[in-house]
Structure 1
Amino acid sequence: MFRNYIKIAWRGIIRGKGFSVINIMGLALGLACSLLIMLWVNDEKNVDAFHKNGSFLYQVYERNYFDGKVDASYNTQGLLAQELKKTVPEVQYESGFEFAAPPGSSNTFEAGKKITKMSGAFAGEDFFKMFSYPLLQGNAATALNEPNTIALSKYMAEYFFGDASDAVNKIIRFDNKEDLKVSAVFDNVPHGSSLQFDFLRTWADFVKQNNWVHNWSNTSPQTFIQLRPDADAAKVQDKIKSFLYNYQQKNKSFIMELALQPFTEKYLHSNFKDGYLDGGRIEYVHLFSIIAVFVLLIACINFMNLATARSAKRAKEVGIRKVIGALRSTLIARFMGEVMLLAFFSIIIAVLLTVLALPAFNGLTGKQLTLPFGQPAFWLSILGLIIVTGAVAGSYPALFLSSLKPVRVLKGSLKFSWSATFFRKALVVFQFAMSAFLVIAMMVVYKQLNYIQTKNLGYDRGNLIYIPIEGDLVKNFELFKQRSLADPAIVNISKMRNSPTGISHHFLDISWPGKDPNLTVPFADAVVGYDFVKTMNLQLLSGRDFSKDYGTDSVGFLLNETAVNKIGFKDPVGKTISWGSHEGHIIGVIKDFHFSSLHERIEPLIIRLDENWSWGTIFVRIKAGRTNEALTFLQQLCRQLNPAFPFTYQFSDLEYAKLYKSEAVISKLANLFAFLAIFISCLGLFGLATFTAEQRTKEIGIRKVLGASSSSIMKLLSVNFLKPVALAFLIAFPVAWWAMNSWLQDYVYKINMNGWLFAIAGALTAGIALITVSYQSIKAALVNPVGALRAE
């Protein structure tokens, strides 16, 4: 019996080749799109899921109440992890974590004749006991215990020493200033880890090199802890809430609290709102999960519409089968069999399309996704997709065709009820409502990203490059600056402890005359060299830049507008303030510029001069149009002044773009899925146009006999086709406005969603729909009325 159903279904597919091809390709595209999204969503959800102790791992974050608001950050005190383990019995293991190089840069390593740059971090003694990064050589209990030692990844060990087993106890030079002994080799960090590093250094070395960690008002590193299996995380969180006051005095104007977040949740839930966790990448996971379902539904709706459009051609077949005794259940099984066979062919094509699209999709998303052919769960999912898709796509056509009355069908008086017509149009409305929503979302995301890329940040990102301060450039900076400025392609040079997009360090101990002793305000702080304002093209509101012409600038400060407003000085230049133990006078006020993401409001910023700072970034301002010439000169100069380090640089605008890498990927995905949704939806509209044209053949013939022109008939049919599309706009627009307005709330600086944005989206979607129905409209309008009436 089953074999007979398959054979009959195959014959039905062969008889309607064009119909079958459209249906199979529509379903295949929907399934391929859904498969890609499912792979991406599954990969996102599995980030950090490989840690065996994952259920006991937590990240500590700090919540601050000050100045009438609540803020939170993962930046914590440098000694916090160690102190938590000492004083809280429920903490079994701890680790601080801080990258060894400034954001956007890496460290230089040398062993034998090989030299290269690698990225890594400092971590605590318990790090390998907590996290599942398997050691290939060495012991997890001692790998990060001794100062002046380092653990290497397998890739890094093989690069320098040929074989991972030969690396332990070998010496490798770090930034040409320290010789470190290799204590362990760990397996390469998997792609599904939110922490990515090629090496780890000991926390003892971090504390030794950063004396500021002993001041508990300074924050920067991340803090991880592992609780004992019998510990209650909620109770531990209550216990450590006021932990910082064991090391600092309480201040009513600046209240500090510690809180815990399960480490395995951080990747997807890392946004803060009013000091509490509130979304993150999980919002995109939810969004694209919904899109996957809707795209698949759109593909299934296409099948319903196309099958219904073809129903008039199969009506006599149903009538004859019923007359000779076919039961309705038998007809339903037959039609469902055809659909299942179509779904089977579609899923095969969908898998092939997915395999072909994966390299480009991985390049777009930065992932390493593969179809898990070797996992039984994958094949069960494929089987489930065939059944669910077949059931959803084939249920309505099967029920509809099997319900036809044989007497009416064989008499040629087949008519469709108002409810059946309404249902088909409702399906098209749903399709285009979803498509219009995706088009609007695509345009809003694109416009916001364009706003981010083109917004005036307060400094000039163009023709500005960053060179890391490392090796002999520390002592040769002045010579480097002199020789560079002698080159006609270079305009200005300065330096900074971080980069303009990486000012994350904050200082609480800022004071000024008349300050309320109970007031504590966190200031972002930066250390720079001479000519900083000039090189960055910042706008001075009053005062001047740091200059060698003024010997007192070593005890001078620059403030931004927000800092001056917070202090309350009306004429700030010349006034005295203190930055911890650094007391000095304000020499200038600069217009606010963005030194962090546009998700965050500009904070008070204080800048001091230190031309001898031993690490950070050199800023080089290049003349427009002479980039290649300047880079060639700088490379040669660095080889002379800093021969032990390879020449590396970054463009300022590209470094800034990294802040919005996730948004850029989401924008591209939204564009892709919006295009596919519209394309698949247009197949459904094509089906409805085919159906309508078939049902109105006699009407069109009569209209032409009575003198109607082809253009008037085309207009009549096109307007009728576009009515459900217009209704879809009315439904989609308010939903899209609400959803995208909620998305934009994550940005402090954002676009306004004007009415023209919706108008363009509507016109674009309507235009595509009109092009889709034009073929059927023209075909129906040009038909010979004699043939149409004779057929009746």
Structure 2
Amino acid sequence: MWKNHLKVTLRHMARNKGYTFINVFGLTVGIAVCLLIFMWVNDELSYDRFHAKADRTYRALWEARFGENEWKIPNVPMPLGPTLEREFPEVESVTRFISGGYTMKQGEAFVREQNGVFVDPGFFDVFTVETIAGEPQAGLQQPNTIVLTEEMAQRYFGTENPVGKSIERNDGQLLQVVGIVREFPAQSHLQFDFMVSSDVLEYLKQRRDQWGSATVLTYFTLLPDSDPDLLQQKLLTYVEENVVDEDYAEGNNYTKFPFQALTDIHLGERLDGDVSQSGSMTSVWLFGIIAVFILLLACINFTNLTTARSVIRAQEVAVRKVLGSQRRQLIAQFFTEAVLYIGFGLVLAILLTGLVLPAFNAFSDKQLAMETLLTPRFLLTIVGFGALTTFLTGIIPATILSSFTPARILKDKVATLKGRNWLREGMVVMQFAISAGLIIGTLIVKDQLNFLQEKQLGFDQEHVLVINRATALRNNYAAFKEQLQTLPAVEEVTTAQGVPGDEFDSTVFVPEKPSNYEATSLTYSFVDADFVETMKIDMVEGRDFSVDMLTDSSACLINRSAAAKLGWEDPIGKSLNYGGYDERRIIGVTEDFSFRSLHHEVEPIVLLMTKWRLSKMAVRLRPGNVEEQIATIQAAWKTFAPQAPMEYSFLDQDFQQLYEGETRMAQVFGIFSLLAVFIACLGLFGLAAFLTQQRTKEIGVRKILGASTASLVGLLSKDFLKLVVIALVIASPLAWYLMNAWLEDFAYRIEIQWWVFVLAGILAVGIAFLTVSFQSIKAALTDPVESLRSE
């Protein structure tokens, strides 16, 4: 029986090559997109699950409010880790570490190795670290030792065993290699190239008992069957009773240390200062929904074309029934066709996935491999995927085609499906509603990104070269700055603790009375006298810093928002006590400027004048050959800091990286919108071709009676275009609601404009018209004599 079903199906496919191609190609593209997306989703959901204790490992965060300033960050005070280990028996092990880098000598050159971690021995108890050579955990307890990953060891020592050998830092210090470990998989929020003991960092020892300094990352594992929620409540009680002082307990102020599960970090909320850029659960859901939509479009194509062609297959069904075929046998026949189509589509989709996977990896910044499809989990997914697709594509055609009445079909020689046209039309509406929704979403995302790029930030980000780790200049710091100021390519130079786009610190300031607060937390940055001029920040009142004014060493600037927050109409001359020991006199108020991304509103900030060596230099360049300008600055750098490579970036590019997630989302939306429209049009093309073929004689009669080509095209196209318009009406409010929710993540956002929906409508209708009119024009231009001869 099944052999007969298979033979009939293959003959039917061979006899209708055009429709077979449309069905198989549509299913291939739809399934390939779904496979790619589900591989990406699987990768996102697998982060940090390779650790042996992943299910009971947590990270402590610091969440607090002081005055009007709130924060939630991954860095916590030094004493928190020992407190967890000492006071709470359900805590099995704790580790504290920070990320950092070293400049090392590789051959004759000095290389900055950015990706290091300074750890304590507990690191190996919390995380699963695979040792390749040496004894990393024991070795790091000795001074001047280092553990390398396999990749870094190969870069420095080639194929030699590096254990026992040394690497030289740029200060001449030798670090003995005591172990080689395997890199963490790509699916880890924490990545590193080397490990050094945290004991080498003196400032950690100084902060050993300080509960007020955000210093280290703290992770811990619980004993099996321990309740993290109960522990969190016990810790909150402990902190309130033993740590928090009166100021932090007054009014709305609070401080607490919530827990974040290790496996939730990558897809959890984005935290300032995190060790890596997190993913987004919203994106996981969004891409998953898009994958289902794309597959649904391909299934609708198959179903629509099959049911539309049922008028041709009606006599086949009638004859089969007369010869004794039961309805279940007919359903089995049509399900066999669906299985075969899906089988061809699935095989071709896997081949297509392999072809486009390298490009998809480059686009999505992933390292996905086809081997993923061979895992039991994914094979089961594919089988379920194929079964679901077969059911979706087979159930409607099989039910409809097997329901024809033989007597009526053989008498009338035609299957009348007028009562079922609503189903086919409904599926066309669904296709274009999905496509139109994606088009609208793409336009809104792009409009928001353009808004972010064009919005005035309160400073000039163009032509600013940022030199990182300027402290590597050491005693030549001031001389290097003076040298830069003499270069023709340089317009201005400033030094700062941070530039816009960096993470800024905050601390408690006590303002002069009267003010809105006894004390409040404010964001601040140490800068030199040239910061405002170099960044081209406007002054609102008062004056800028001046190197000629010796008293400016104890001065500060505030922005307009800080003045408003403190309640000062005339802030000039008033004082702010920084950290309880440094009295600063306000000499000027700047215009507000965006020192964080536009996800956040402009915040109050205090600029503190200092002559210390600061970590950043910002160099405003004159228009010219950028490569030559950078080469000139690098030559000067080598003169003053020969043992440290110059690390630099451009301010505008750094600021744009703050919207990398949104930019990638816009690209994804665009690509999937194109694919959705393509698949929808593929089905519409086949459907229009078939329905036009059914009206061949009607077209011939109308031409003989004088109908023009334009009128025939309009006649054949209007029904489809009506369905597209209905789809737009359905898609527009849904797209508005979803995109409005997405825009709420931005403090500065566009208002969704009416023209977005009009443009999306024009695009959808235009694409649909071009798709349908191709067949319409072809039919309208056919010789009417040939049309009347057709059967």
After TM superposition, the score normalised by the length of structure 2 is 0.93
| Paired position in structure 2 for 1:620 | 619
Aligned mates of 2:204, 2:231 — CA distance in 1: 31
Deviation of the 1:388 alpha carbon:
2.3
- Report the equivalent of 1:152: 148
Could you say if the C-alpha distance between residues 757 and 141 of structure 1 is closer, same or farther in structure 2, counting changes exceeding 3 Å? same
| Structure 2 CA distance for aligned equivalents of residues 111 and 785 of structure 1 | 82
Residue 232 (structure 2) aligns with:
237
Which residue is 2:744 aligned to? 745
Assess, with a 3 A threshold, how the Cα gap between structure 1 residues 458 and 61 changes in structure 2: closer, same or farther.
same
Report the counterpart of residue 129 of structure 1 in structure 2. Answer: 125
Contact preservation (8 Å) 1:109, 1:116: yes
Partner of residue 483, structure 1: 483
Aligned to 2:463: 463
C-alpha displacement of 1:787: 4.1
Comparing 597-606 and 23-32, the one that deviates more: 597-606
Deviates more, 1:400-409 or 1:716-725: 400-409
Match of 2:473?
A: 473
Q: Deviations over 1:116-154 (max 9, x none)?
A: 222223333311211123232344643554554433222
CA distance in 2: counterparts of 1:560 and 1:145, whole angstroms = 47
SS in 2 for 1:241: helix
Q: CA deviation at 1:626?
A: 3.2
Using a 3 Å threshold, how does the CA distance of structure 1 residues 220 and 394 change in structure 2: closer, same or farther? same
Following superposition, the deviation at residue 676 of structure 1 comes to: 0.4
CA positional deviation for 1:15: 1.1
Query: Is the contact made by 1:309 and 1:687 (CA closer than 8 Å) also made in structure 2?
Result: no
* Residue 218, structure 1, aligned to residue 213, structure 2: yes
Aligned pairs (5 A) from 1:593-612: 593-612=593-612
Structure 1 residue 397: Cα displacement: 1.8
Map of 1:269-308 to 2, 5 A cutoff? Answer: 269-271=268-270, 281-308=280-307
Q: Could you tell me whether the CA contact under 8 Å between 2:149 and 2:193 is conserved in 1?
A: yes
In the alignment, which residue of structure 1 is the partner of 2:550?
A: 551
> In structure 1, the residue corresponding to 2:556 is in which secondary structure?
strand
Shift of 1:181: 3.8
1:103 aligns to what? none
Determine the C-alpha separation between the residues in 1 that align with 2:504 and 2:143. 27
Question: Does residue 388 of the first structure (1) align with residue 388 of the second (2)?
Answer: yes
The residue number in structure 1 matching 2:722 is 723
Structure 1 452/508 Cα, relative in aligned 2: closer, same or farther at 3 Å?
A: same
Q: How does 1:752-771 map to 2 (within 5 A)?
A: 752-771=751-770
- The one-letter code of the counterpart of 2:189 is S
1:266 Cα offset (Å): 1.5
Which position in structure 2 is the counterpart of 1:110? Answer: 105
Q: CA deviation at 1:67?
A: 4.5
* Counterpart-to-counterpart distance in 2, 1:451 and 1:143: 53
- C-alpha deviation, 1:268, in angstroms: 0.8
Determine which of 200, 203, 222 is the counterpart of 2:198. 203
* Structure 1 residues 375 and 425: CA distance shift in structure 2, 3 A: same
The answer for the alignment partner of 1:658 in structure 2 is 657
1:667 alignment partner in structure 2: 666
Residue 495 to residue 173, structure 1, CA distance change in 2 (3 Å): farther
Q: Distance in 2 between matches of 1:606 and 1:423?
A: 65
Report if aligned partners of 1:153, 1:189 keep a CA contact under 8 Å in 2. Answer: no
Structure 2 counterpart of 1:473, one-letter code: L
Residues 509 and 576, structure 2, Cα contact 8 Å, conserved in 1: no
1:643 aligns with 2:638: no
Q: What is the CA deviation profile of residues 216-245 of structure 1, one whole-angstrom value per residue up to 9, with x for unaligned ones?
A: 333254322222224221111001125444
The 5 Å alignment of 1:257-268 reads 257-268=256-267
Q: Distance in 2 between matches of 1:499 and 1:155?
A: 33
Question: Could you tell which deviates more after superposition, 527-536 or 779-788?
Answer: 779-788
Q: What SS class does the counterpart of residue 618 from structure 1 fall into? A: strand
Match of 2:733 in 1: 734
Compared CA separation, residues 378 and 217, structure 1 to 2 (3 A): closer
* Structure 1 residue 172: Cα displacement: 3.1
Report the equivalent of 2:308.
309
- When normalised by structure 1's length, the TM-score is 0.93
- From 216, 223, 228, give the equivalent of 1:228: 223
Select between 158-167 and 644-653 the one with higher mean Cα deviation: 158-167
Quick one: which amino acid aligns to residue 194 of structure 1?
H
2:515–2:568 Cα contact (<8 Å) kept:
no
Counterparts of 1:95 and 1:194, CA distance in 2: 16
Question: CA offsets, 1:228-276, max 9 Å, x none?
Answer: 2242211110011254442341331321122112121121121489xxx
State whether residues 599 and 745 of structure 2, in contact with CA within 8 Å, keep that contact through their aligned partners in structure 1. Answer: yes
The C-alpha deviation readout for 1:262-295, integer Å capped at 9, x for no partner, is 121121121489xxxxx97111101111111111
Distance 1:23 1:453, change over 3 A: same
Corresponding letter in the other structure for 2:673: A
Question: What's 2:632 paired with?
Answer: 633
Distance in 2 (CA, whole Å) between partners of 1:490 and 1:209 is: 38
SS for the counterpart of 2:382 is: helix
Q: Deviations over 1:645-668 (max 9, x none)?
A: 223311112211222222222221
Q: 1:416 to 1:204 in 2, by over 3 A?
A: farther
CA contact (8 A) 2:404 2:415 kept: no
Change (3 A) 1:314 1:661: same
8 Å CA contact 2:22–2:686 kept in 1: the answer is: no
Q: 1:12-61, CA deviations, whole angstroms, 9 ceiling, x for partnerless residues?
A: 21111111111100000000010110001000000111111111111112
Displaced runs of 4+ in structure 1, greater than 6 A?
none
Larger CA deviation: 547-556 vs 321-330? 321-330
Partner of 1:256: 255
Q: What amino acid is the match of 1:653?
A: D
Determine the C-alpha separation between the residues in 1 that align with 2:205 and 2:437.
51
CA distance in 2, matches of 1:700, 1:777: 10
Q: Distance in 2 between matches of 1:95 and 1:610?
A: 36
Q: Note if contact 2:167-2:176 (Cα within 8 Å) is conserved in structure 1.
A: yes
Conserved? CA contact 1:498–1:617, under 8 Å? yes
2:331 and 2:402 in contact (8 A); partners too: yes
> How far off is 1:740 after superposition?
0.6
Is the contact between residue 516 and residue 567 of structure 2 (CA under 8 Å) also seen in structure 1? no
Cα distance between partner residues in 2 of 1:54 and 1:750: 38
Q: Is the 8 A contact 2:470 2:617 kept in 1?
A: no
The residue aligned with 1:564 is: 563
Give the whole-Å Cα distance in 2 for the aligned partners of 1:516 and 1:773. Answer: 67
Q: CA deviation at 1:698?
A: 4.1
In structure 2, relative to structure 1, the CA distance for the partners of 1:28 and 1:172 (3 Å cut) is same
Alpha-carbon distance in 1 for matches of 2:512, 2:426? 68
1:276 is matched with none
- CA 1:575–1:183 in structure 2 vs 1: closer, same or farther (change >3 Å)? farther
Is 1:182 the equivalent of 2:177? Answer: yes
The alignment status of 1:355 with 2:351, answered yes or no, reads no
2:134–2:163 CA contact under 8 A, matched in 1: no
Can you list the C-alpha shifts for 1:150-179, whole angstroms capped at 9, x where unaligned? 3322222222233574234x4434453754
- Structure 1 stretch displaced more, 781-790 or 653-662: 781-790
Q: Indicate the residue corresponding to 2:42 in structure 1.
A: 42
Distance 1:746 1:227 in 2: 34
What amino acid is the match of 2:534?
A: T
SS in 1 for 2:361: helix
Name the structure 1 match of 2:243: 247
- Describe the SS at the equivalent of 1:476: helix
Range 183-192 or range 113-122, more displaced: 113-122
Quick one: which amino acid aligns to residue 110 of structure 1? Answer: K
Displacement after TM superposition at 1:771 (Å): 0.8
Identity fraction in percent? 37
Range that drifts further, 284-293 or 491-500: 491-500
For 1:22 and 1:14, locate their aligned partners in 2 and report how far apart those are by CA, in whole Å.
Answer: 13
Quick one: distance in 2 between partners of 1:41 and 1:191?
A: 14
- What's the secondary structure of 2:370's corresponding residue? coil
- Residue 51 in structure 1 maps to residue 33 in structure 2: no
Aligned to 1:410: 410
Question: Can you give the 5+ residue segments of structure 1 that lack an aligned partner in the other structure?
Answer: 101-105, 274-278
Deviation at 1:91, TM superposition (A): 2.3
Give the AA of the match of 1:630.
Q
CA contact (8 A) 1:505 1:525 kept: yes
Alignment pair present for 1:91 and 2:91: yes
Q: RMSD in angstroms over aligned alpha carbons?
A: 2.5
